[in-house]
Amino acid sequence: MEVVKPNSILIENIRDKDIQTIMEWFDTKQDLYYKFISFFLNEKSEYEEVIYRVIMKVYNEIHRMKSDSSFDIWVTTILLNECLERSSKAKQENLSHSNEEIINKLRAMENDYKTPILLKYLMKMTNEEVVEILNIPISMVKSRLFSGIHLLQNAWEDVGCEEYKDIYLDYLDMTLGREKRVELEIHIRKCKSCNNMLFDFQEVLFKLYAELDGMKILNSLMDDVTERVNKVIKEKEQLKKKRVRIGSVIIACMTLVLFIGFFTNTFNRVHYTWLEWNEQEDAEMLTYLKNGLGEPLNLEAQHNGVTIKIKTAVADDYQTVLYYEVVNNNDDHNKYTINMFEGFHVQNEQEVFDLQAEPISAFRFGEPILEKNDKNVFSGKISLLPIADESGTIKLNISKLLKVHEDLDNPEQTLHKTYYNNEIETLEGKWSFEVPVTKHASIEHEVDKEIEIKGIPLTIDKLIFAPTVTLLQYKVDHSNQDQKQINDLYIDQIVKGKQKSNTLHFHSMTHQGYFQKSFDSLYFEDSEEVKIHFSSFHYFKDDDISLNLKSNGPFPQTLEYMGNEISIENIITDGARTVVTIKDAPPEVRKYESLHFDIKTDDENEQLLMNYNSNDGVWMDRDGKIYDQSDNFYDGNVEPPRYYETNYEIELFKETSDEQVIPQKFHIYGHSGTEYIDEVVELRLD
């Protein structure tokens, strides 16, 4: 039985509340979820209701999932809770509706024993994952699994030796340590009772797997659910008003990143990298060529008076970089760039690229522009996914170029004006290339160094020096829920020997439970001394405090939180529309930046749609200087500032009806903020 595992690109889209990606995830899991639900509920309508409620909870509450948590485990926990809640209210007499003996016994079993069996043998969870979902000790998980498997057999004459009962299942799962395994194998040769017991266990598990695999499912399970979800989302979007924009430059930059992530996941699986058109790329290429990591290609294609040159290609395990030049031979003096969003296609991407790899983002903003002698020349580079094999040929087709809108007085605005100009100009044509690429090895150092950032344990796992990028992999210990949970670390730079490597802004990803940060390449710096400059971190802190609301007033209604006063300024109800206005304390006196909260009716399980009509706020830099949210002082090239939300206007709707919403409770479940630090960690590489 195949269990589909999520990849980090998919999860990133889900975190961005992309309902289409969420639906695609559930579509791949519908057979598994159908089987799981069928052990608790009996009617198709109930199955659909459970799936619908789980999808909407994922959509509405994805922000609550910890950054280091497994999405699969989080969703499975929600699914289980929904099943348990609805099964406690449903009639259970008709649950045994199959002809399979084991399946019927499992359906009739008490939830304490049925649930761990389903999680382990149907959902393919490890014992540790079952512990996380059920929130019980692993000894209890093993005990319930043993008892549950025991109940699935008609009767056992032999009960085995007491001291070996806890390891039967570990032995059959092949997770038992060598010493214990050898001890058990020696024992069962001598003990007939344990031998018989182990054989019976194995026989039951074989039948269980066979019957689970053979369960019939309803192919139309997701049809009605999809229609219902789309209807709710559509209604929400129609009612939703846009939030106030927080500075055009930072929004433009971040929007571009999101667009790139979307296109990376859905279409060409490529990732465009903006590079200032100066002479830096020539120095980079020269370094690669001198060290034998590339060769001059000088591939050219011309159409409509414009020549595109692929000058060289450098590839490693993390990306494939093409250096290019666009030369406009016409008299209009325009510059053009390759536009990844439109008119860029790798014909053989399925064959040549490692489609499971993470795209590398390497944006650079605000660096000086050095004009070339020919003003009609634009130079840059494209970052593609790494190739799957050691070498290959990229078949590249370009059908449209984008006109560059330069801002020589304010260079960092050039990207914004090029991509967000009201009159975007393109040039159509046909430019085709076959680009030969050879992958080059990276240098990986296992670090495994434990440090603390403001008392929060963190492990620097490894440093990877690839020809095109430097990667730092680390893990944050979130086991102490009383501590702040680090969502993101800002690392200003890594210094290796005498060479500094700046962070590649906007690029952070997770990899097998670890965070990865990317920096400029340090591949050619021959030194064992490394310094990592930590600058700030963004955190989330759990909390639990509520204020009972009186919708009819009087107002304001206040709540003290972390020494400050939060005020519910007004609640206005007009038919199905309810608007809540909230005022937070001034930024100068607050210890947090943003609140994480819910507004509940008298039914706390009811899902409400919260539409932020507006949320006012201010920027504050490290020195405490405050900027209005409309100020464009943050160009993406400096340390991220803090953003304090000060006022909220929130519109509330019921998820499935036009009934009036009467707010009864304002519930704060946490807050987030940024802490500035100046810590340098020194490493010596082996």
pLDDT digits (tens, 9 = 90+) for 300-315: 999 999 999 999 999 9
Measure the CA–CA gap between 86 and 82, rounded to whole angstroms: 6
For residues 44 and 158, state if they share a domain: yes
pLDDT at 346 > cutoff 90: yes
| Most confident of the ranges 24-28, 513-517, 556-560 | 556-560
In the predicted model, what is the mean pLDDT of residues 382-410?
88
Least trusted range by pLDDT, from 8-12, 272-276, 413-417: 272-276
For residues 552 and 529, state if they share a domain: no
Indicate whether 187 belongs to any domain: yes
We report the CATH number of the domain holding residue 479 as 2.60.40.1640
We report the CATH number of the domain holding residue 264 as 2.60.40.1630
Measure the CA–CA gap between 396 and 387, rounded to whole angstroms: 14
Measure the CA–CA gap between 86 and 80, rounded to whole angstroms: 10
Which one of 418, 438, 458 terminates a domain? Answer: 438
Indicate whether 641 belongs to any domain: yes
- Type of residue numbered 5: K
Share above pLDDT 90 across residues of the chain, in percent, rounded to a whole number: 31
For residues 430 and 524, state if they share a domain: no
What total number of domains does the chain contain?
A: 4
For residues 135 and 276, state if they share a domain: no
What does the angle CA 521 – CA 527 – CA 533 come to, to the nearest 5 degrees? 60
101 is in which domain, residue-wise?
8-213
For residues 157 and 194, state if they share a domain: yes
CA-to-CA dists, residue 356 to 259, 317, 341, 511, angstroms: 19, 12, 21, 12
Task: Classify residue 282 as left (phi > 0), alpha (psi -120 to 50) or beta.
Answer: alpha
Indicate whether 237 belongs to any domain: no
8 three-state secondary structure: helix
β-bridge mates for residue 293, sequence order: none
Helices (H), 408-502: 414-420
Which one of 438, 460, 491 terminates a domain? Answer: 438
Spacing of C-alpha 578 from chain mean position: 32
For residues 186 and 37, state if they share a domain: yes
Indicate whether 663 belongs to any domain: yes
Q: Which of 49, 77, 50, 52 is nearest to 64 (CA)?
A: 77
For residues 486 and 381, state if they share a domain: no
Which one of 490, 515, 539 terminates a domain? Answer: 539
272 — pLDDT class (breaks 50, 70, 90): very low
Indicate whether 604 belongs to any domain: yes
- In this predicted structure, what is the pLDDT of residue 414? 67
68 — pLDDT class (breaks 50, 70, 90): low
For residues 651 and 597, state if they share a domain: yes
The DSSP result for 502-555, as a single string, is EEEEEEEEEETTEEEEEES--TT---SEEEEEEEEEEEEEEEEEEEE--TT--S
Selected residue with higher pLDDT from 273 and 494: 494
Indicate whether 1 belongs to any domain: no
Indicate whether 238 belongs to any domain: no
pLDDT digits (tens, 9 = 90+) for 113-152: 999 999 999 998 988 899 999 988 888 898 889 888 888 8
E strands present in 404-513: 426-438, 443-453, 456-465, 470-476, 485-496, 499-511
The DSSP output letter for 678 is E
For residues 466 and 493, state if they share a domain: yes
For residues 152 and 13, state if they share a domain: yes
- In this predicted structure, what is the pLDDT of residue 634? 53
336 three-state secondary structure: strand
- In this predicted structure, what is the pLDDT of residue 439? 93
In the predicted model, what is the mean pLDDT of residues 186-205?
77
pLDDT at 245 > cutoff 80: no
Q: Which of 219, 221, 217, 215 is nearest to 103 (CA)?
A: 215
369 — pLDDT class (breaks 50, 70, 90): very low
The mean pLDDT of the chain is 79
- In this predicted structure, what is the pLDDT of residue 260? 32
664 — pLDDT class (breaks 50, 70, 90): very high
Selected residue with higher pLDDT from 211 and 634: 211
Indicate whether 361 belongs to any domain: yes
* Structure token digits, residue 310: 């692929």
For residues 204 and 253, state if they share a domain: no
For residues 522 and 561, state if they share a domain: no
341 — pLDDT class (breaks 50, 70, 90): confident
